[in-house]
Chain A
């Protein structure tokens, strides 16, 4: 076999620049370099490349040279370009903590089995955040150097303590008069308690809403039970109210996939379209909180999720063909990494990971966690990823302490077994908290990791679509990555 004697190849006329590869199928190899540029080669061409026998006039050679997979002249130019690209890819690090989640209460009127938040029945303020705790959390937030800060208020159901929301928002804005950052507010809510007074305040302060919509009513209500079994109806009603008051694009929705959802990919997409959303985030179920207790997470395989995902994505592309714009957010994040030189800010797809660094959670009683998931583990008695407490620890202890340091260390893909030689490394993340939960240690076991299988499945699927899709589909997926509408469909503007 040719590859075996590459060690004895003649002196190289070209240098290989860093890349990783994947045997795409029997005939082809996928190469991805350290900054996320990719190329497909036939197996024999790949052998010639690594054996330093690829002829310099061949089209493959020129493509690889252009894409910075090889260099045949002074390599410092290519190294400089790659270094600049690498720094841009990792530039999400420079702002450090951008996303700050405030859990203002654990109380909630829903009892969703997959809930990532341990909800307690309504009643009593011992499950609510105090103003003092909020104040201290805000202090810590402004210690971050990021010029842009995103404040996400969640719960339980945060609207149950709207007064606290007002307190936090007003305090942050007051502090920001001196700080001068770019601040964005989001409230993650099931919309049920929404009233006009709240809407007036939200409008005044330009606060965004993010809600859960799991699909059409029967599915949504089955996934997200509340007394009255009318979660969906309430979402639909209050969605309309919120949009009227705040603006159509000021309310976004997330969905969570359960076993029930797996059979209804098209119906879920159709429901998002029906309710006027232009984006949908197809998330897999997380193994935390009540999800584990009710056994929901244990029940399905990643390949079933991938089947679901592919069918849903087909449906989404189809809607776009028919003139209804809707994009899938997870695909958008991955496509941004594949097709553009720009970084993304989704914490679970970063190396080093974004948990605790890019995003942090301040719990109602002041405990600080690296993520929602870390907080959920604590609810179950596992405090591994608690970074500290706003009342007892300093900024340095929380953000510079051993807990966060080892968490970050276990999320640097370049140093993890199974990841460091994977062709998809530039597009992926580690999610140590997920692996701690499902496999018993933060590094985890790649071959049986559901997170890995999901990401590899979706990435392979997206590469396939880009290779074999028609012009429309390729332009569509590209437009998701670049955030722009595909120019072919623009009406020519008169000059």
Chain B
């Protein structure tokens, strides 16, 4: 059991948000420090120090896996954002944002041809 564990993160491969989310999640069991590598500024050194007692060294593994997962979450959020926004907007809209024909379409004229005989 050590007192401090450091993990090097390449900021050209990982987003700032994912790094912070992963660090945030581990602040229950460690104090987390962030510092840039002096020789290679694109590298970030994430330091973990035990809050109480000694630090479980597996925290490094937990951190890197969490980092990947947070990247995935970030990518998913970006991918889903337009639909997510549309769902919330539609949920509280007065009219229909998805297809105005649902509100304004004339069922007699049937512009979508729903009543077309089979």
Q: Do any beta carbons of A and B sit within 8 angstroms of each other in the complex?
A: yes
List residues of A whose CB falls within 8 A of some B CB: 1, 3-4, 6-7, 15-21, 23, 34, 50, 75-76, 79-80, 82-84, 86-87, 90, 417-418, 421, 445-448
**Contacting pair A86 B98 (CB below 8 A):** no
**Contacting pair B87 A83 (CB below 8 A):** yes
**Contacting pair B83 A417 (CB below 8 A):** no
Q: Which residues of A contact B27 (CB under 8 A)?
A: 445, 447-448
A313 to B87, CA, bound (A): 37
Q: Which residues of A contact B73 (CB under 8 A)?
A: 20-21, 421
Given the interface pairs A79-B86, A83-B87, the reply to whether A4 lies near B79 with Cβ below 8 Å is: no
Given the interface pairs A6-B75, A421-B73, the reply to whether A80 lies near B83 with Cβ below 8 Å is: no
Q: Which residues of A contact B68 (CB under 8 A)?
A: 1, 3-4
**Contacting pair B76 A34 (CB below 8 A):** no
Q: Which residues of B contact A34 (CB under 8 A)?
A: 84, 87
A461 to B72, CA, bound (A): 26
Selected interface stretch from B3-11, B34-42, B88-96, B103-111: B88-96
Given the interface pairs A21-B73, A50-B72, the reply to whether A446 lies near B87 with Cβ below 8 Å is: no
**Contacting pair A79 B24 (CB below 8 A):** no
**Interface assignment of B117: CB less than 8 Å from any CB of chain A:** no
Partner of B77, one of A4, A76, A421: A421
**Contacting pair B87 A86 (CB below 8 A):** yes
**Contacting pair A18 B99 (CB below 8 A):** no
**Contacting pair B83 A15 (CB below 8 A):** yes
Partner of A79, one of B29, B76, B87: B87
Q: Which residues of B contact A448 (CB under 8 A)?
A: 27-28
Interface residues on B, range: 20 to 34
A80 to B89, CA, bound (A): 11
**Contacting pair A418 B88 (CB below 8 A):** no
Given the interface pairs A1-B68, A34-B84, A421-B21, the reply to whether A79 lies near B75 with Cβ below 8 Å is: no
A421 to B69, CA, bound (A): 11
A50 to B77, CA, bound (A): 12
Given the interface pairs A16-B79, A417-B24, the reply to whether A87 lies near B72 with Cβ below 8 Å is: no
**Contacting pair B80 A18 (CB below 8 A):** yes
**Contacting pair A87 B92 (CB below 8 A):** yes
**Interface assignment of B26: CB less than 8 Å from any CB of chain A:** yes
Can you give 11 A-B contacts (C-beta < 8 A)? A17-B83, A75-B83, A79-B90, A83-B86, A83-B87, A83-B90, A86-B87, A87-B92, A418-B24, A421-B73, A447-B27
Partner of B83, one of A18, A23, A87: A18
**Contacting pair A7 B75 (CB below 8 A):** yes
**Contacting pair B76 A50 (CB below 8 A):** yes
**Contacting pair A90 B91 (CB below 8 A):** yes
**Contacting pair A76 B98 (CB below 8 A):** yes
Please name 17 further chain A to chain B contacts, defined as beta carbons within 8 Å, in addition to the given A16-B76, A83-B90, A87-B92, sorted by A numbering: A3-B68, A4-B68, A18-B83, A21-B73, A21-B76, A50-B75, A50-B76, A79-B87, A80-B90, A80-B98, A83-B91, A417-B24, A418-B24, A421-B21, A447-B27, A447-B28, A448-B28
Q: Which residues of A contact B88 (CB under 8 A)?
A: 83, 86
Chain B residue nearest to A448 (CB atoms) is B28
A84 to B27, CA, bound (A): 38
A50 to B73, CA, bound (A): 10
Partner of A447, one of B25, B84, B90: B25
Q: Which residues of B contact A447 (CB under 8 A)?
A: 24-29
Given the interface pairs A16-B79, A18-B84, A446-B24, the reply to whether A86 lies near B91 with Cβ below 8 Å is: yes
A84 to B98, CA, bound (A): 13
Leading 8 A-B pairs by shortest Cβ distance: A447-B28, A83-B90, A87-B91, A86-B91, A18-B84, A83-B91, A18-B80, A76-B98
A370 to B57, CA, bound (A): 44
In the assembled complex, the CB of A124 is this many whole angstroms from the nearest CB of chain B, namely: 46
In the assembled complex, the CB of A15 is this many whole angstroms from the nearest CB of chain B, namely: 7
Partner of A3, one of B72, B79, B92: B72
Partner of B98, one of A18, A79, A87: A79
Q: Which residues of B contact A418 (CB under 8 A)?
A: 24-25
Q: Which residues of A contact B21 (CB under 8 A)?
A: 417, 421
A6 to B76, CA, bound (A): 10
